[in-house]
Chain A
Amino acid sequence: MIADGVEDEEKWLAAGIAGLQQNAFYMHRALDSNNLRDALKYSAQMLSELRTSRLSPHKYYELYMRAFDELRKLEMFFKEETRRGCSIVDLYELVQHAGNILPRLYLLCTVGSVYIKSKEAPAKDVLKDLVEMCRGIQHPVRGLFLRSYLAQVSRDKLPDIGSEYEGDADTVVDAVEFVLQNFTEMNKLWVRMQHQGPTREKEKREKERSELRDLVGKNLHVLSQIEGIDLDMYKETVLPRVLEQVVNCKDEIAQYYLMDCIIQVFPDEYHLQTLDVLLGAFPQLQPTVDIKTVLSRLMERLSNYAASSADVLPEFLQVEAFSKLNNAIGKVIEVQPDMPILGVITLYSSLLTFTLHVHPDRLDYADQVLGACVKKLSGKEKLEDKKATKQIVALLSAPLDKYNDIVTALKLSNYPRVMEYLDSETNKVMATVIIQSIMKNKTRISTADRVEALFELIKGLIKDLDDAFHDEVDEDDFKEEQNSVARLIQLLHSDDPEEMFKIICTVRKHILGGGPKRLPFTVPPLVFSSLKLVRQLQGQEENPFGEEESTTPKKIFQVLNQTVETLSNIPAPELALQLFLQCAEAANDCDLEPVAYEFFTQAYILYEEEISDSRAQVTAIHLIIGTLQRMHVFGVENRDTLTHKATGYSAKLLKKPDQCRAVYACSHLFWVDDQDNVKDGERVLLCLKRALRIANAAQQMSNAARGSAGSVTLFVEILNKYLYFFEKGNPQITVAAIQSLIELITTEMHSDSSTLDPAADAFFASTLRYMEFQKQKGGAIGEKYEPIKV
Chain B
Amino acid sequence: MNYLVGAFKLPCNIFISFADGRIRKQVPLKKENGKTVMVALFQSQESIVGEVVIEPVHRKKVEHNGVKIVLLGQIELYFDRGNFYDFTSLVRELDIPGELYERKTYPFEFSTVEMLYESYNGVNVRLRYILKVTISRDYVSNIVEYQEFVVHNYTPPPSINNSIKMEVGIEDCLHIEFEYSKSKYHLKDVIIGKIYFLLVRIKLKNMELEIRRRESTGSGPNTHVETETFAKFELMDGASVRGESIPIRLFLSPYELTPTYQNINNKFSVKYYLNLVLVDEEDRRYFKQQEITMYRLLETS
Query: Nearest Cβ in chain A — how far from B68, in angstroms?
Result: 47
Cβ 8 A contact of A136, one of B231, B239, B246, B251: B246
Q: How long is the Cα–Cα vector from A735 to B204 in the complex, in angstroms?
A: 126
Residues from 618 to 646 in A contacting B, C-beta threshold 8 Å: none
A459: CB under 8 A from chain B? no
Q: Number of B residues contacting the other chain (C-beta, 8 Å)? A: 21
The secondary-structure label for the interface of chain B is strand
Cβ contact of A96, chosen from B231, B244, B249, cutoff 8 A: B249
The complex places the Cα of A143 from the Cα of B233 at a distance, in Å, of: 18
B235-252 to A contact mask, C-beta < 8 Å, 1/0: 111111100111101010
- Flag whether A137 is at the interface (Cβ < 8 A): yes
* A331 contacts partner chain B, Cβ-Cβ < 8 Å: no
Known: A96-B249, A97-B254, A99-B232. A136 touches B237 (CB 8 A): yes
Q: Does A615 contact B (CB under 8 A)?
A: no
Task: Please indicate the chain B residues that have their CB under 8 angstroms from the CB of A196 in the complex.
Answer: 239
CA distance A99 to B254 in the complex (A): 11
**Is B251 in contact with A101, judged by CB distance below 8 angstroms?**
no
Q: Which residues does chain B contribute within 8 Å of A97, judged by CB atoms? A: 251, 253-254
> Counting chain B CB atoms within 10 Å of each CB, which of A135, A137, A192 scores highest?
A135
A14 to chain B, nearest CB (A): 23
What is the 8 Å Cβ interface bit string for chain A, positions 133-161, against chain B (1 contact, 0 not)?
Answer: 10111111011000000000000000000
Q: Within residues 100 to 143 of chain A, which ones have a CB less than 8 A from any CB in chain B?
A: 100-102, 104, 132-133, 135-140, 142-143
The smallest beta-carbon distance between A230 and chain B, in angstroms, is 33
Give the residue among A96, A97, A101, A133 with the most B Cβ atoms within 10 A.
A101
Q: Does A51 contact B (CB under 8 A)?
A: yes
Distance of B263 from chain A, by nearest CB (Å):
32
Using known A-B contacts A97-B254, A99-B231, A99-B232, determine if residue A137 contacts B247 with beta carbons closer than 8 Å: no
Known: A96-B249, A96-B251, A136-B246. A192 touches B237 (CB 8 A): no
Docked pose: A290 CA to B31 CA in angstroms: 73
Query: A135 near B251 (CB under 8 angstroms)?
Result: no
**Please, how many angstroms separate the alpha-carbon atoms of A133 and B235 in the complex?**
10
Is there an interface contact between A139 and B239, defined as CB atoms closer than 8 Å? yes
Q: Does B189 contact A (CB under 8 A)?
A: no
A96-B249, A97-B251, A132-B247 given; A137·B232 CB < 8 A: no
Interface residues contributed by chain A, number (CB under 8 Å): 21
Q: How far is the CB of A144 from chain B (nearest CB, A)?
A: 11
A93 at the interface (CB under 8 A from B): yes
Contacts of B233 on A, CB cut-off 8 Å? 99
Complex contact A138–B251 (CB within 8 A): no
Q: In the docked arrangement, what's the CA distance between A196 and B281, Å? A: 12
- The answer to whether A138 touches B244, judged by C-beta atoms less than 8 angstroms apart, is yes
Could you mark each residue 208-245 of chain B with 1 if its beta carbon is under 8 Å from any beta carbon of chain A, else 0?
Answer: 00000000000000000000000111111111110011
Q: Are the C-beta atoms of A51 and B249 separated by less than 8 Å? A: no
Interface pair A138/B236, CB less than 8 Å apart: yes
Of B237, B251, B254, chain A has the most CB atoms within 10 Å of the CB of: B237
Q: Which of B58-87 contact A (CB under 8 A)?
A: none
Is B239 within 8 A of A51, CB to CB? no
Given the interface contacts A93-B251, A96-B251, A133-B247, does A138 sit within 8 Å of B232 by beta carbon? no
B7-39: which have CB < 8 Å to A? Answer: none
**Contact present for B238 and A139 (CB under 8 Å):** yes
Min CB–CB distance B251 → chain A (angstroms)? 6
Alpha-carbon distance between A97 and B240 when the two chains are bound, in angstroms = 23
Q: Is the CB of A140 within 8 A of B238?
A: yes
What is the minimal beta-carbon distance from B207 to any residue of chain A, in angstroms? 9
Residues from chain A with Cβ under 8 Å of B246 in the complex: 135-136, 138
Q: Within the complex, what minimum Cβ distance (angstroms) separates A142 from chain B? A: 6
- Complex: how many Å from CA A132 to CA B235? 13
- Least CB separation from B240: chain A residue: A138
Can you name the residue of chain A whose Cβ is closest to the Cβ of B200? Answer: A138
Residues of chain A within 8 A (CB-CB) of B234 are 99-102, 104, 136
In whole angstroms, what is the CA distance A136 to B245 when docked?
A: 9
Task: List residues 182-196 of chain A with CB under 8 A from any CB of chain B.
Answer: 192, 196
Q: Specify which chain A residues have a CB less than 8 angstroms from the CB of B231 in the assembled complex.
A: 99
Contact yes or no, B237 A102, CB < 8 A: yes
Q: Is the CB of B249 within 8 A of A101?
A: no
Give the residues in chain A near B232, CB-CB below 8 Å: 99
Q: In the assembled complex, which residues on chain B have CB atoms less than 8 Å from the CB atom of A51? A: 237
Q: Give the complex CA separation of A138 and B237 in angstroms.
A: 6
The answer to whether B241 touches A136, judged by C-beta atoms less than 8 angstroms apart, is: no
Instruction: Indicate with 1 or 0, residue by residue over A164-204, a CB within 8 angstroms of chain B CB atoms.
Output: 00000000000000000000000000001000100000000
Are the C-beta atoms of B244 and A136 separated by less than 8 Å? Answer: no
Q: A97-B254, A99-B231, A99-B233 are in contact. Are A138 and B238 (CB under 8 A)?
A: yes
What is the CA–CA distance of A136 and B209 in the complex, to the nearest angstrom? 12
Contacts of B206 in A (CB 8 A): 101
Contacts of A140 in B (CB 8 A): 238
Question: What 0/1 pattern do residues 77 to 99 of A give for CB contact below 8 A with B?
Answer: 00000000000000001001101
Per the bound structure, the CA–CA distance linking A200 and B247 in Å amounts to 34
Q: How far apart sit A469 and B246, CA to CA, in the bound complex (Å)?
A: 67
Q: Is the CB of A101 within 8 A of B236?
A: yes
Report the minimal beta-carbon distance from A117 to chain B, rounded to whole angstroms.
Answer: 22
Contact between chains at B239 and A133 (CB < 8 Å)? no
Contacts of B235 on A, CB cut-off 8 Å? 101, 136
CB distance from B49 to the nearest CB of A (A): 36
Contact B251 A192 (CB under 8 A): no
Q: Which residue of B lies closest to A140 (CB)?
A: B238
Across the interface, which residues of B come within 8 angstroms of A102, CB to CB?
234, 237
Please report the C-alpha to C-alpha distance between residue A101 and residue B240 in the assembled complex, in whole angstroms: 14
Contact of A135 among B204, B247, B253, B254 (CB under 8 A): B247
Given contacts A96-B249, A101-B234, A192-B241, 16 further A-B contacts (CB under 8 A): A96-B251, A97-B251, A99-B231, A99-B232, A99-B234, A100-B234, A101-B206, A101-B237, A135-B245, A135-B247, A136-B234, A136-B237, A137-B237, A138-B237, A138-B241, A139-B238
Interface, chain A (partner B; CB < 8 A): 51, 93, 96-97, 99-102, 104, 132-133, 135-140, 142-143, 192, 196
10 closest A-B pairs (Cβ-Cβ)? A139-B238, A138-B238, A101-B234, A138-B240, A97-B254, A137-B237, A100-B234, A101-B237, A139-B237, A136-B236
B residues whose Cβ falls under 8 Å from a Cβ of A: 204, 206, 231-241, 244-247, 249, 251, 253-254
23 CB contacts below 8 A, A to B, read: A97-B253, A97-B254, A99-B231, A99-B233, A99-B234, A100-B234, A101-B206, A102-B237, A133-B249, A135-B245, A136-B234, A136-B246, A136-B247, A137-B236, A137-B238, A138-B204, A138-B236, A138-B237, A138-B238, A138-B244, A139-B238, A143-B238, A192-B241
